[in-house]
Chains A and B, each alone.
Chain A
Amino acid sequence: MSPEKPTAEEPTAEEPTAEASAEPVPEEDVTRGEGAQIAAVVALTLALIGFATGLAQPKLAAPRLRAVPSAVVTEVPQAPTYGQLPEASLGPNAEWRSHLQDLARTPGDLLAPREVPSEAAKLRALEVRAKRRAYSGAPPTIPHQVSARSAASCLSCHETGLRIGDRVASPMPHRLLVNCLQCHGAPPPRALAAAKGGVKPSHFRGQAEPLRGKRASLGAPPVIPHATHMRERCVSCHGPGASSPALQSSHPWRVNCRQCHAASAAGFAK
C-alpha cells in the first residue's frame, strides 16, 4: 500500500499510538521508491481533502432544511393533507435526493481517515451498550416502539443494517432469525404505559463487557475478548456502519476479521 514499509526484521504495528507518533523517525529507517512516493502523496492528499470535506459537512440533517437554496425548495412538493392522500401523487422530494448522496458516501468511504477514538470514548460506548444488555452477550432490549405482532418490520432495517443521517440500525450480528421478539425485549406497549411497579426488582449484576483483547506480543492482532456466539458478524458492531464510532475497527476495509483475530472460547462447559 505504501512505500514506508518497515524492513523485514521489524514487525508491523497493529495501529499507530499517540506516544509513538511523537517520536521523530530517522529517514534511513525507511526504504522508498520514487514512483511509490508520488502515489502516496496523491493518495494522502485525496484522503485529506476527503477528510476536510467530511468535517465541513455537519452530520445532523435538520439544519440543512433551511440551508437548501430557494430554487431547490420550489421543487419540493407540498405534503398533502390526510384528505388529499388518496389522490396525491407521491414521490421523492428534492431534499431526500440530496440526502441520498450523503448516504451513499457515509459508510462507503472505507479508506477515509478517521480519528482514533479515545479510551474514554470507547468506555462511553460500552456504557451505552451495557444499558440495553443484562450482561455481556445478552440480547439487547429494543430502544424503540415495535410492532407487537410481526418481525417483518424489524427485518426491514436490521436484516442488513441501515443508516439515515446519524441514526443507525445495526445489522443483526447473528444468522437470520425471524422471531425477533423471542429474544429481544420490547419497550412497554403504549396501552400499558400506565402500569407501575407491582413486584420488587432483581439485583442481578451481569458480567460487564470485557475491555480490549490481549495481544500475544506487541503488534500482534488482539484476540476477541468477548464470546462470539450469536455475534458472528463482527461488522455489526465494528464495521463501517456501526452505531458507535468508538467501537469501529481502525481498518474497516478488512472483512475477514477472524483471519487475524482469534476467537475467545469464553470457556463454555464441555
Chain B
Amino acid sequence: MTLREHLLSGEALGQRYALAVPQTALAGATGNQLGRRAGTSIDFQDYREYQPGDDLRTIDWNVFARTDRLTIKLFREEVNPHLDLVLDASRSMDLENSPKSAATLRLAALLGTAAENGHCTHATWLAGDGFQRAANDTMLPSAWDGLAFTSRRPLDEAFAILPPRLRRLGIRVLISDLMWPVEPLTILRRLADGAAAVFVVQLLAQADTEPPEHGNIQLVDSETGEEREIFVDATVAAQFRAALARHRESWDAACRQTGARFVSIVAEKLDASLPALEEAQLLVPA
C-alpha cells in the first residue's frame, strides 16, 4: 500500500471519532468553539467593572443607568482548539518486515480526521533534522504529503536543531516508538510547555515487543546501523522483556509527572487498540 492509501485508510477509520478537547484547550485564535475566556461571541458570560483599555462597546449602559457604575458585559470567546501532531520520523518507525510506518500514518490520519470532526485545527510535525511541518497538513489527512521516516536523529536532537512552533494551549500528540536512550522528562517538558494536553502514543511493532527466537542473532540498529551479535536464550529473552517493561514504565511515570497521558499500542493491533485511545480521553465517538 502506498502512503496515500494508508492515509485514506486512517481517514476512513477516523470518521468514527472526534478529538476529545479538554477544557484547557479552549483557547486560541478565533474559531467556532466557545473558549474558556471572554470573547466576542454572543453568549453572555459575566459582568465586571470597567477597566481602562476595555472596549467601550462592551459597557452595559443599562447597568450604568441603574448603578452609575461602568460595568462591562463579558461574552464567551469563540476559539478553534488546535491539535499538534508530532510524528517521530526516524527510521525506526519504518522497521523492516513490520507494519509500523503504515500504522503510524493511519494513526496520524485518524487523529487528523478526528480533529476535523472535533472542529479543531491541526498541524503535523515531522521530527527529523529539526521539526518540519508536513505538506498540506492543515488539510484533510488524505492531502498530506512529505511523510517519510528516514531520519537518523532521535527526537531530542530534532528539538535541539529546530524546535516546533507548537500552538499555545493546543493538544499535542507525540507518536513515536520512543526507542532511543533519553530521559523522558526532557522531551515531555518541552511538549507540555504551554500545551492544553499532551498525549504520548508509543507505537511499537510486534517485533519490538517480542525477542527473537533462540539462537544466534545479529541485531542491526535501524537508525544507526550499528550491529551486535548475541545469543538469545530464555534468559536473554527475559532480560529483554524486563528492559522493555522498564522503558515503558519510565515513560509512563514521566507522563504522569508532567500531566501527559501515555498509551502504548502495537502496530499489528492498531484497530484493536483504539479503545485505549478513548480511555486515555484522546478520542471520543463522533
Q: Do A and B bind each other?
A: no
Taking Cβ atoms with an 8 Å cutoff, the residues of A that contact B are: none
B interface residues with partner A (beta carbon < 8 Å): none
